[in-house]
Each structure stands twice: as structure tokens, then as C-alpha cells.
Amino acid sequence: MTEVSEPQEGSPAPRGGHRRDVRLVTGGMAVVLLVWFALVNRGDVRVHFWVVSATAPVIAVVAIAAIFGATIGALTVRHSAGRRRRGRS
């Protein structure tokens, strides 16, 4: 028979550890896939943004898109967390 040991006194209780681990693994996989995609596609692409057009390497376009996406995602999470703390939905 296997006994489950109780947490030691003074040791921190796990708090959201599993959820954090899932986020870290998912984020790590996304970074690996972005790097792989950018390295496999080393050619130049034409980018059209409103009235401006430019030619840039795929790796630069992917990196800029990833930075914008991560920034928007972080701002959205921070904004929604602030609304929850204040009691609004």
C-alpha cells in the first residue's frame, strides 16, 4: 500500500502550479514553432499595411507579428483581470 505524504511544515503549498506549467509548455511550443517556421521560410515577402508596402524577410515579419500578438494578449489579460477585481464583467 502506498502512503501519500503530507506537505512538510514550512514548505509552500502548490498554488496554480499545474495551470502555470501548462502555460509555460504551451508558450514554449509556440516559440519553437515560430522559430522553426521562420527558419524554414527564409525568403522575402511583400507586406502591405494600409498605404505602405515593403519587402522584408519572413523571419522579421513573423518576429514583429509575434511581438505585437504577445503585447496585445498581455494587455488584454491585464485589462480583464483588472475588471474582475473591481467586480465588473
Query: Would residue 81 count as lying in a domain?
Result: yes
Q: With the C-alpha atoms ordered 60, 65, 66, 70, is the resulting torsion angle positive or negative?
A: positive
User: Rounded to whole angstroms, how far apart are CA atoms 25 and 87?
Assistant: 31
Question: Is residue 28 in a domain?
Answer: no
Average pLDDT over residues 10-24: 71
Signed CA dihedral, 81, 83, 86, 87: sign only? negative
Over residues 28-52, the mean pLDDT reads 88
Q: Look at residue 44 in the predicted model and tell me its pLDDT.
A: 93
Q: How many domains does the chain have?
A: 1
Q: What is the separation of C-alpha 16 from the centre of its chain, rounded to a whole number of angstroms?
A: 17
Does 72 fall in a domain? yes
Asked whether residue 17 is assigned to any structural domain, the reply reads no
**Which residue range forms the structural domain that includes residue 78?**
43-89
